[in-house]
Chain A
Amino acid sequence: MAGTAAGGTRQSRAAPYLLIAPGVLWLTVFYVVPIVSLAQTSVEVAGGPWWDGYQRALTGYGTHFFRSLRYAFAATILALVLGYPLAYVIAFRAGRLKTLLLGLVILPFFTTFLVRTFAWKTILNDGGPAVRLLQQLHLLAPDGRLLDTTIAVIGGLTYNFLPFMVLPIYVSLEKIDRRLVEAAQDLYSTPRGAFQKIVLPLSLPGVFAGSLLTFIPAAGDFINAELLGSPNQQMIGTVIQNQFLEVRDYPLAAALSFVMMFLITLGVLAYARLLGTEELA
């Protein structure tokens, strides 16, 4: 096929669009359409003003919203504190054990979310090993419980989302050219200084990605609170699920969803601002 120069350009110009077409199609059908439909549902109030759903969402469930955000925030911080050193050791110190350690981080994923959380229920049970250990260390009252507490819920959230924090941080640490650390030491920086000035800033994109992948799903989670918490720890995810599937108050449920999405987006934007978007590129 002898194409003219113009024909060749036309063909290669179309190629990128053709390549992303399936992805865009998938997004449109499974994301854009449902979101639009959900938005419509949130304002289709039978026998009331269109904002009724939102009004009830904001007035009745403020506690749940902020509790969810608090729990998700706490879980994210904990996951960061636990996950960053783990990712660092795997990337910089693991040597031959690297693949094994990464495998161990991912291993929990071979069981479902539900089963893992159930396992925690067993571990944190009254009279179980965790409770007894803490009672022996006098960190817990003799009649104290771990289940049905905020600690249990946050712990569960942290545990379930830890790999989501570790893996992006690991990837961004792995990408760092080791010679940069050598160069920093050559230029009179101690190993600690090299970490602070070179490794840490260059790993921020991973920290940002990991934080998002932890915070956003954790905020909307409903399993951990259900299984490990009491009604006092109920998160917005449970409420939304309840409203959709049992109470069937669709405008309220949809409104709750959108309000939560909005709050999460605000949080993410604030975080991105904090880290400085250039460095995350």
Chain B
Amino acid sequence: MTIPDTTESESRRTGADPADGVIVLERVVKRFGEYLAVAHADFAIGRGEFFSLLGPSGCGKTTTLRMIAGFEQPTEGRILLEGRDVSRVPPYRRNVNTVFQHYALFPHMSVYDNVAFGPRSQKLDATETDRRVRELLDVVRLAAFARRKPSELSGGQQQRVALARALANYPSALLLDEPLGALDLKLRQAMQGELKRIQREVGVTFIYVTHDQEEALTMSGRIAVMNEGRVEQIGTPEEVYHSPTSVFVATFIGVANLIPAVVEQANGAGASVRVAGSLPVAVPAGTWRLGAGAKASVMVRPERLRLSAAPPGDCVSIPVTLEQAVFQGPVVRCLLRAAEGSEIVAHVGPEQILPGLSPGLALWVSWEPEAARLLPP
């Protein structure tokens, strides 16, 4: 099933082309009285994107989603839908639909009537309504359950009905508010795959709110990482993982080592900083402007670190003491302490297990310069 749309190329359908913004947030601010829920959200979401809003509880992601849906209105700024300013337009006049966290299926209606609710509210004729309901029930693979009531369905099935109910309206964008939160792990993982499949099949823009970074990394085309109302970074899963632009993003997604450093000198291509007191280390410069003497953090992911008895010549390395080595199956998690006290976590594979990895051992930890990122402290 594909939703009739007006774009031509395949790449636009699957890729992140924000210039073709289906939804644009322009300098959006939301306050509830004194409380600042969303501070300056300003970004565009492209047609056919799987776009996630990721962050901890209270970061403003759900509020942002609700503003796109029309349940809240921005205090400042505008929201554009298909180029049209919908900031003050009520939800029943916006062509976006929401999949709620606890599904909000109408308990007194059958699955069929739930899915048909949107088309019927829009006064589509009975034949077209019926065609759409059957089509969507097929997409979510629940055709046999059309006559059942929501109370007779499992959590995963209810979630799929909620999805069908929203998609039956062929919305410009589908808004999903932590839809998998109420499911157990196995079912959640299965549903992640299902959602990806359906999104690809249907080609609708998905805007997905979650606090689960693994979920966001797995499913998204682009992720907007939010914290305390601010959008910290927007990028593809690879970008936010390998090139975070702030300490918050680095630590919220995956595990990050943050080594305190002082900038020695910086030019366009890179910077050299001193870590652990006085060791010079070269790092690629980030988008952040640095000056000599500025404090910073050097961020390296644990799996990019190597341990050795002597410093290898071609990498950046610092001396450490091994505190603990924990076997975790695919990797060994090593807790290391640098000379001036900072803690470093390294995930090393079996080939790295030097004979006698015992606490107290003096080692060198190293990484390739391109693996590190320089972040504001």
User: Chain A's nearest CB lies how many Å from the CB of B57?
Assistant: 18
Tell me if B92 and A179 are in contact (CB < 8 A): no
- The listed residue (B69, B93, B108) touching A279 by CB distance below 8 A is B108
Query: Does A180 touch B at the CB level, under 8 Å?
Result: yes
A183, CB-defined interface residue at 8 Å: yes
Which of B104, B107, B108, B118 is within 8 Å of A182, CB to CB? B104
Which chain B residue has the least Cβ–Cβ distance from A204? Answer: B108
Q: Are B165 and A187 in contact (CB under 8 A)?
A: yes
A177 touches B104 (CB 8 A): yes
At the interface, yes or no: A110 with Cβ under 8 Å from chain B? no
Most buried by B among A180, A188, A189, A279: A188
Q: From known contacts A182-B71, A183-B106, A201-B108, infer whether A188 and B121 are also in contact, taking CB-CB under 8 Å.
A: yes
> How far is A138 from B9 in the complex, measured between Cα atoms in Å?
76
**Range of interface residues on chain B?**
20 to 34
B102's partner among A179, A189, A193 (CB-CB below 8 A) is A179
A180 near B122 with CB under 8 A, answer no
Given contacts A179-B100, A193-B121, is CB(A187)–CB(B107) below 8 Å? no
Interface membership of B205, Cβ < 8 A: no
Number of A-B contacts (CB under 8 A): 57
Contact of B104 with A202 in the complex, beta carbons under 8 Å: no
Other-chain contact of B122, A182, A185, A188, A197 (Cβ < 8 Å): A188
Taking a contact as CB atoms under 8 Å apart, the answer to whether B108 and A187 are in contact is no
Contact with B along A123-167 (1 / 0, CB 8 A): 000000000000000000000000000000000000000000000
Find residues 40-57 in chain B having any chain A CB closer than 8 Å to their own CB.
none
Q: Is A246 an interface residue (CB 8 A)?
A: no
Interface residues of A in 218-266 (CB under 8 A from B): none
How many chain A residues touch the partner (CB < 8 A)? 18
- Contact of A187 with B90 at beta-carbon distance under 8 Å, contacts A179-B104, A279-B108 already known: no
Query: In the bound complex, do residue B117 and residue A187 qualify as a contact, i.e. CB atoms below 8 Å apart?
Result: yes
Report B-chain residues with C-beta under 8 Å of the C-beta of A201.
108
Taking CB atoms and an 8 Å cut-off, the chain A residues in 179-206 that contact chain B are 179-180, 182-190, 193, 197-198, 201-202
If A188-B92, A188-B121, A193-B121 touch, does A183 touch B169 (CB 8 Å cutoff)?
Answer: no
Q: Is the CB of B117 within 8 A of A189?
A: yes
Q: CB < 8 Å: which of B69, B106, B107, B169 contacts A188?
A: B169
Flag if A187 contacts B97 (CB, 8 Å).
yes
Chain A neighbourhood of B121, CB < 8 A:
184, 187-189, 193
- Known contacts being A179-B102, A182-B71, A183-B98, is A188 close to B118, with CB within 8 Å? yes
Distance in Å: Cβ of B350 to nearest Cβ of chain A: 50
**From A187, A189, A201, A279, residue with most partner B Cβ within 10 Å:** A187
User: In the complex, what residues of A have CB within 8 A of residue B108's CB?
Assistant: 201-202, 279
Shortest CB–CB separation between residue B68 and chain A, in angstroms?
11
Chain A residue contacts of B166, Cβ below 8 A: 186-187
Partner of B100, one of A183, A189, A190, A193: A183
B280 CB–A CB distance under 8 Å = no
Residues of B within 8 A of A190 (CB): 92
A184 CA / B106 CA spacing, docked (Å):
9
- Note all chain B residues with C-beta closer than 8 A to A189: 92, 117, 121
- When each residue 78-103 of chain B gets 1 if its CB lies under 8 Å from chain A and 0 otherwise, what string results? 00000000000011110001101010
Q: Taking the nearest CB of chain A, how far is it from the CB of B148, in angstroms?
A: 14
Identity of the chain A residue whose Cβ is nearest the Cβ of B93 in the assembled complex: A188
Q: Once the chains bind, are B90 and A184 in contact (CB under 8 Å)?
A: no
Kindly list chain B residues whose C-beta atoms are within 8 Å of the C-beta of A193: 121
Contacts of A202 in B (CB 8 A): 107-108
Complex Cα gap A177–B90 (Å): 20
Q: For B118, give the chain A residue with the smallest CB separation.
A: A187
Interface string of B161-183 (1 = CB under 8 A from A): 00001100100000000000000
Chain A residues within 8 Å of B118, by CB: 187-188
Q: A257-278 toward B: CB 8 Å interface, digit per residue (1/0)?
A: 0000000000000000000000
In Å, the complex CA distance between A193 and B93 comes to: 13
6 contacts between A and B (CB under 8 A): A179-B100, A180-B107, A187-B92, A187-B97, A187-B165, A193-B121
B residues within 8 Å of A by Cβ?
Answer: 69-71, 90-93, 97-98, 100, 102, 104-108, 117-118, 121-122, 165-166, 169
4 closest pairs, A vs B, by CB? Answer: A187-B118, A183-B104, A188-B121, A179-B104
